[in-house]
Amino acid sequence: MAYILSIETATNVCSVAIHRDGALTAHQELFLEKSHSGLLTIMIDDLIDHCGIGINDLNAVALSEGPGSYTGLRIGASAAKGLAYSLEIPLIGVSTLEAMCRSVTLYDPKPILLCPMLDARRMEVYCLVANQDYEVIQEVHPHIVDQSSFLNILTDNKVVFFGNGASKCKEHIIHQNAFFIESVTPNAKHIGNLAYLKYKNDEFLDLAYFEPFYLKDFRPTQPRTL
């Protein structure tokens, strides 16, 4: 029996989940700005207690490895690495965008492509494209959205866009094959689904050298002066 704790902090939504042998046991999420640093460890402790297990019963820790918010990913990585190191259990990384694809259920029998998007400020998004079997056909990349965006795949495919970067793209991606789903956010319960597959295959991260997948270098900005 394997218990995996999953942590998702790539956006302003903070969530944790526990899976037992790949099945979701419990999860919790907070839609609060800047809640990650102050509440993440409390959420983890509460969830473990709620499941009726002890922290030493965990067999692995999984985290959303990016792309996403620089600060959020750093907080999640620090918590996950600290737990994995102290408990001497494996650390598992899961792509934030690949996990988001699992949150969308499609009922159309015709082939549809999935395009999760995370906001990267202005008109840029982080995205990938996957098919209905969740196989990635365009790897994670930054994309500046304009009226020519995704025409190469929209011409012959229905494409579902979702995530916190998709809403700002509606006015630019205007096509009969483009569809948008609101309120889809990264969630730890989908991280855990993929993490269990990696756990069975011994696909673990190196605790000493792992860094989140930021996609772009962090660039600090100067505060505005009035």
Kindly tell me if the per-residue pLDDT of 166 is higher than 90: yes
Closest to 72 in 3D by CA, of 214, 217, 226, 215: 214
Question: Do 49 and 121 belong together in one domain?
Answer: no
Kindly tell me if the per-residue pLDDT of 112 is higher than 80: yes
Closest to 166 in 3D by CA, of 118, 211, 212: 118
Bond from prior residue into 212 cis (ω within 30 degrees of 0): no
Q: Residue 226 has what pLDDT?
A: 42
Q: Residue 217 has what pLDDT?
A: 56
Question: Do 110 and 146 belong together in one domain?
Answer: yes
- Residue 134 forms part of a structural domain: yes
Question: Do 50 and 9 belong together in one domain?
Answer: yes
Question: Do 51 and 123 belong together in one domain?
Answer: no
Band the pLDDT of 38: cuts 50, 70, 90. confident
Give the number of domains in the chain.
Answer: 2
Closest to 175 in 3D by CA, of 201, 150, 204: 150
Question: Do 79 and 114 belong together in one domain?
Answer: no
Q: State what percent of residues in the chain have pLDDT above 70.
A: 93
Question: Do 63 and 134 belong together in one domain?
Answer: no
Query: What is the length of the chain?
Result: 226
Q: Residue 101 has what pLDDT?
A: 96
- Residue 220 forms part of a structural domain: no
Question: Do 194 and 140 belong together in one domain?
Answer: no
Question: Do 87 and 111 belong together in one domain?
Answer: no
Q: Residue 14 has what pLDDT?
A: 93
Question: Do 53 and 69 belong together in one domain?
Answer: yes
Residue 15 belongs to domain spanning: 3-96+186-200
Q: How far apart are CA 115 and CA 121, in angstroms?
A: 18
Higher pLDDT: 68 or 121? It is: 68
Averaged pLDDT, 166-184: 93
Helices (H), the chain: 36-50, 70-87, 96-101, 151-154, 188-200
CB 125 within 8 A of CB 101: no
- Residue 140 forms part of a structural domain: yes
The domain spanning residue 67 has which CATH number?
3.30.420.40
Q: Residue 111 has what pLDDT?
A: 83
Q: Residue 43 has what pLDDT?
A: 95
Kindly tell me if the per-residue pLDDT of 24 is higher than 80: yes
Question: Do 77 and 153 belong together in one domain?
Answer: no
Q: How far apart are CA 144 and CA 169, in angstroms?
A: 10
Question: Do 120 and 175 belong together in one domain?
Answer: yes
218: tokens are 């962090």
Kindly tell me if the per-residue pLDDT of 108 is higher than 90: no
Q: How far apart are CA 5 and CA 55, in angstroms?
A: 10
- Residue 225 forms part of a structural domain: no
Band the pLDDT of 224: cuts 50, 70, 90. very low
Q: Residue 35 has what pLDDT?
A: 67
Residue pLDDT, tens place only, 126-163: 999 999 999 999 999 999 999 899 999 999 999 999 99
CB 21 within 8 A of CB 196: yes
Residue pLDDT, tens place only, 73-101: 999 999 999 999 999 999 999 999 999 99
Band the pLDDT of 51: cuts 50, 70, 90. very high
The backbone region for 201, taken as left when phi is positive above 0, alpha when psi lies in -120 to 50, beta otherwise, is alpha
